Amino acid sequence: MGSGSSVTCWFWFCPLAFKAAVLIQRWYRRYVARLEMRRRCTWRIFQSIEYACEQDQIKLHNFFSYLMDHFTPSSSKERDFISRMFISGESFKEAELEKYCDYESMEVPDSYTGPHLSFPLLPDHATALLEAFKQKQQLHARYVLNLLHETRKHLKQLPNISHVSTCYSEEVTVCGDLHGQLDDLFLIFYKNGLPSPSKSYVFNGDFVDRGKQSLEILIILFTFLLIYPKEVHLNRGNHEDHMVNLRYGFTKEVMQKYKVHGKKILKMIQNVFCWLPLATLIDQKVLIIHGGISDTTDLDMLEKIQRNKFISVLRGKKRKESNRNVEIKEINGESKAEADPAGNEAALSLCPQPRPTQAPSMANKLEFSRWVRQTVQEQIEWCRRLVDISESEEEELTYSSWVMSAGYTFNKLFQSFQILDILWSDPMPQDGCRVNTVRGGGCYFGPDVTGKILEKYNLQFLIRSHECKQEGYEFCHNRKVLTIFSASNYYEIGSNRGAYVKLGPDLVPHFVQYQANKTAHTLTMTQRISRVEESAFRALREKLFAHTSALISAFKAYDKDNTGRITLSNWATAVESVLQLGLPWRMLRPQLVRSTADGMLQYKSWLDDLAMEQRSQEHIQSSLLEVIYRNRSNLETIFRIIDRDHSGLISFEEFHQTWKLFSSHMNIELTDDGINDLVRSIDFNKDGNIDFNEFLEAFRLVKQSQ
């Protein structure tokens, strides 16, 4: 009887247990789904702000490029100044660079306790460097310049596309962006082992910027490159660019660590960066590039580009316009030699040049870019035919005849696009290829573009970096494109893992993920998302505050009766029209705006709350603080561009010449005496130079008087 009672109880309890289990399961799934939604929103915020900042950098550079294009120097002195300021590093010839960066004249004092280097380097030198950097020691400037000198000599011997074979080592390890995060590099070496004859590495660009130990990463990578030249391979990334370094911290880092010799080190690094290879091929089957590809990517032409000519890929060097007939030069950019005019004419007659449609105005960069892409395929074929015909000649082929009206030679323009695309582009899920308006450089390429490139060059898949991924890696385009990112905790502690990928002879990728920060290991999933979310919304509020004036104008457009209130839906539309970040503002609204019963928002009080939050950090008038927040990065970049010797000070002469450039563009008539009066008024401490604080203070005072 007792047994029958227990069976009856079991049947009565069983449905309740199942119901409870189902309820718990539903609750947990909803909980995880909400966490995932929060994570994705947070990720969108970080990426949108990051890419908007990159877009600002390119816009700023385009602005200076426009000034440079339309400024007519009145003297050779002004011309030399403009050349030095905007084409930094290109004006140095080989002998001049070595003389300027002469390391042999530097003495290492007896008090120096850091690591010592002697060349040729040995594995013990690399080990000593690793230990020294773990102890926060600094390498002496003499050794840094010597290392850069030797690295430059080695890189000059390398092709544009490095070739790696798994036959010579058990596997090849590919690492993505490191961005100055030395702990990630240490962890990679701890987990995977140091470079050696049996362990090859490919580091896929973006070694510097953002992080605080970019220079140490460069020193370590260059050291291993010289010790194991066949096992260590470095690709150039979009941050191996001196114009980008001005904004994202690397220039500042070097000058802070090497106050005496920092200028020489920076000059040498700029030159080393432009000699870095552009891509790597593993077993002729796996292409490794930093950013991506486009519908005009041509690996054959990429191999022939004079990569060292592009110290900054944001702007290709212009050629002087020929006074008479079209210059005929080789596409591979070899040094000039005596050419046979008759032979050139014969080549042109055999290969008539296709005539493109009329070039649009250069004022519209997007329209001009599209025009170039439309005509580029015809020109590629023409280029190749010209190269085949004049293969024995050493004169460079250009296409100035049809783009001279736009101010560019086609050769340099096309080469610039080739490099820009592989360093700045991103994949997209849709077919096609379009301009990457989010970053401001490169393009978005679809699965069809990937398929065509793979088929054309008989490749299995592409490996690229350039984008932070939550798990450290991500496949797309039917697993034909692999993104690998090696900087963990990139946005915030716990925001993402780092990863590297290992390829054996079968070319099957094996991934290793990691977290370099110990704190991230102690956080639960909820704590990690909450911490990252808080950081993301703090950055977003700063962005909103920086555009207060524009937001007020946008809100008033919906507030016809001037009530100071708008609907939450109109709030979301207005915010996106101003910031243009492509964020789901309606979904983010609960974190940014207090809920109201009637669904209306008092936007003036909301903006006051944003101002109060920022004023708690900076005791400055609200309107001034808004301008500072919005323009700080641009102002600092402008300051560093004007400060061409990276001394942290702008001389009167530098300011004088730069202001003449601005006044010429803005049609402001200023005499030399007027400019001298202006610069003296900005020099508040009267030391004969302008530092960044004085530069910023002058900007503040001008805004305050408006």
Which amino acids are annotated catalytic? 239
| Distance separating alpha carbons of residues 87 and 92, to the nearest angstrom | 10
For residue 467, the SS3 value is: coil
CB burial of 111-123 (b: ≥16 within 10 Å; e: otherwise) equals eeebbebeeebee
Cβ neighbours of residue 143 closer than 8 Å, sequence gap 6 or more: 103, 108, 115, 116, 117
| Distance separating alpha carbons of residues 220 and 286, to the nearest angstrom | 26
| Distance separating alpha carbons of residues 260 and 142, to the nearest angstrom | 11
For residue 230, the SS3 value is: coil
Nearest one of 367, 362, 242, 249 to 314, comparing CA atoms? 242
Q: What angle do CA 233, 297, 350 make, to 5 degrees?
A: 120
Instruction: Report residue 264 as tokens.
Output: 């020489």
| Distance separating alpha carbons of residues 413 and 400, to the nearest angstrom | 10
How many C-beta neighbours within 10 Å does residue 535 have? 18
Rounded to 10 degrees, what is the CA torsion of 620, 706, 632, 630?
A: 90
Using CB atoms within 10 A of its CB, is residue 136 exposed (0-12), middle (13-18) or buried (19+)?
exposed
**Amino acid type, 523:** L
Q: For the range 591-599, what are the long-range contacts, defined as Cβ-Cβ under 8 Å and sequence gap of 24 or more?
A: 591/533, 591/537, 592/537, 592/540, 592/541, 592/544, 593/568, 596/568, 599/567, 599/568
| Distance separating alpha carbons of residues 571 and 465, to the nearest angstrom | 36
Query: SS3 for 338-351, per residue?
Result: CCCHHHHHHHHHHC
